Amino acid sequence: AFIIYGLREGRPLDALVTYNTWFAYGVQIDEASIRKEIDGAAALGAELFVVDAGWYAGAGRGGASDFSSGLGTWQVDAGRFPNGLKQLTDYAHGRGLKFGLWVEPERVALATINRADTAQEPWLARAGGKYGSSDVAQLCFASAAARQWVLDRITRLIDSVQPDYLKWDNNFWINCDRTGHGHDSTDGNFTHVNGLYQVLSNLRARYPKLLIENVSGGGNRLDLGMLRYSDTAWMNDRSVPSVHVRHMIEGLGRVFPPA
């Protein structure tokens, strides 16, 4: 009751039968394959269809599992989705399904930064003067400019595609010690997560019916703060054997509603 009414202001937690493209396709998705899978998911009685990573320009340059390339462009790959993503939302709705879309707003490919419409280098998190990767970096949400840039890109995407569901992924952890971000050398990650709450709070106010999935490398960001703003959580990337999944549900169920 505390979680539903105290944290979530009465918003229920409804578990949906979900189809996700990742394990079948990786980033190798296009309009034709998605339409085919929507038909199959509808025939099976699924309730939610989620297009996972790979819908944006630049994805897959390093192979079928490379979803880091292209992060930060926020541009639909016109070659694979010539009619955009809104038509897939409409198609899923026509087949009786909710439509979901994967995003990873906190991470950007270094090849995309410092353009007119992309993330700027001063917003990036650093630890010991390094990004933590040679290819990608985390945006430090202690930066108000970084938060606003992300919020603008997400709202533009939502308004364009009109999904029912966002799969909000996070695959990078760094304790930013960079000066000028409004945090000290030891609390960068704590300040970042508080900035994340601000972004999610803004989205919740603007899109009260939008469902948001909390994904963080498999359970790395399961907390009551995220439960206030998100509606389902990915427990662990290790989803087999089934006894392991049941064990996780039993443990997490001590704090989090199993739904």
pLDDT of residue 156 exceeding 90, the answer is yes
In the set 117, 159, 223, 237, the catalytic residue is 237
Question: In degrees, to the nearest 5, what angle opens at C-alpha 60 toward C-alphas 105 and 175?
Answer: 35
pLDDT of residue 98 exceeding 80, the answer is yes
pLDDT of residue 237 exceeding 90, the answer is no
Which tokens sit at 11?
Answer: 């918003």
Q: What's the average model confidence in pLDDT over 234-250?
A: 90
Q: How confident is the model at residue 239 (pLDDT cuts 50, 70, 90)?
A: confident
Q: How confident is the model at residue 218 (pLDDT cuts 50, 70, 90)?
A: confident
The pLDDT of residue 259 is 86
Q: How confident is the model at residue 220 (pLDDT cuts 50, 70, 90)?
A: confident
| Contact by Cβ (8 Å): 57, 76 | yes
Which tokens sit at 10?
Answer: 């009465």
DSSP H/E element including 212:
strand 211-214
The pLDDT of residue 169 is 96
- The rounded distance, in Å, linking the Cα atoms of 50 and 214 is 14
Beta-bridged to residue 232, according to DSSP, are 213
- Kindly report the pTM of this predicted structure: 0.96
Q: Tell me what percent of the residues of the chain surpass a pLDDT of 70.
A: 100
Question: In degrees, to the nearest 5, what angle opens at C-alpha 165 toward C-alphas 161 and 170?
Answer: 105
pLDDT in tens, 174-194: 999 999 999 999 999 999 999
pLDDT in tens, 12-50: 999 999 999 998 999 999 999 999 999 999 999 999 999
169 is catalytic: yes
117 is catalytic: no
| Residue in 220, 225, 166, 222 with CA at minimum distance from that of residue 201 | 225
pLDDT in tens, 49-60: 999 999 999 999
- The rounded distance, in Å, linking the Cα atoms of 183 and 222 is 23
In the set 52, 77, 164, 169, the catalytic residue is 169
